[in-house]
Amino acid sequence: MEPMLSVRNLVKRFGGLTAVNNVSLDVYPGEVVGLVGDNAAGKSTLIKCISGVYQADDGEIFFQGERAHFARPIDARRAGIETIYQDLALAGNLGVSANIFMGREAKKKYFGGVIKTLDETLMNAASRKVLDTLDIRFANFGEKIERLSGGQRQAVAIARAVYWQAKLMLMDEPTNNLGVVEQRKVLDLIGKLRGKQVPVIRISHTMPDVFAVTNRIVVMHR
């Protein structure tokens, strides 16, 4: 089996500080890789290099067997790499479907495309479908994101990645600051991603969570 992602001898520096030093990593379809290590070991920096937030100073990234260079996060997203950061990058003043389609809204066209409006009916139906697929339930589907719990927000972020057919999921502390029940729900969703053969790289400091849904652990050292 060929790896979905290969990182070879990656280096990232910030001035005189080497944040990521000669890191190599392979990730295979359907595999959940736990990325662990001390604070300042370079875990989040590595994720940001893979997702196009940072540009590596040396080394190579191969995605689906081809050398990849993501100048911006949007480039990585278009290739099928979805990233969930600790802050989730959700719009608190918008609802569930608006967040799932944020930046990629479905639109109705009128008069040959001169006038466009949001196709909220399509977005709501598609959002409900992907949420049902993941067994995610909300008492009030139209609730704004800012009124949802931490676990529910994580669920929306994961549902967004699934809807847009992510080929690789990067997760930075997905269960951080969540209660026990919500942590379990997020771990269940990660397991469902694995069942769909979507590989996951997840950063975590909570070792029981790491062992719960991880196939392999990679330790980074300062």
- For 159-209, the pLDDT digits (tens) are 888 888 899 999 998 887 777 888 888 888 899 889 989 999 999 888 888
Q: pLDDT tens digits for 8-56?
A: 999 999 999 999 999 999 999 999 999 999 888 999 999 999 999 999 9
Q: What is the pLDDT of residue 221?
A: 87
Asked if residue 140 has pLDDT above 80, the reply is: no
Of 148, 190, 156, 160, nearest to 173 (Cα)?
190
Instruction: Find out if CATH 1.10.10.60 is the number for domain 5-88+148-220.
Output: no
Question: With bands split at pLDDT 50, 70 and 90, how would you rate the model's confidence at 222?
Answer: confident
Residue 176 in 3-state DSSP? coil
Q: Return mean pLDDT, the chain.
A: 90
Looking from the CA of 188 toward its CB, the CA atoms found within 13 Å total 13
Question: With bands split at pLDDT 50, 70 and 90, how would you rate the model's confidence at 143?
Answer: confident
Q: What is the pLDDT of residue 205?
A: 86
Instruction: Give per-residue burial for 182-192: e unless 16+ CB within 10 Å, then b.
Output: bbebbbebbeb
Q: What is the pLDDT of residue 62?
A: 98
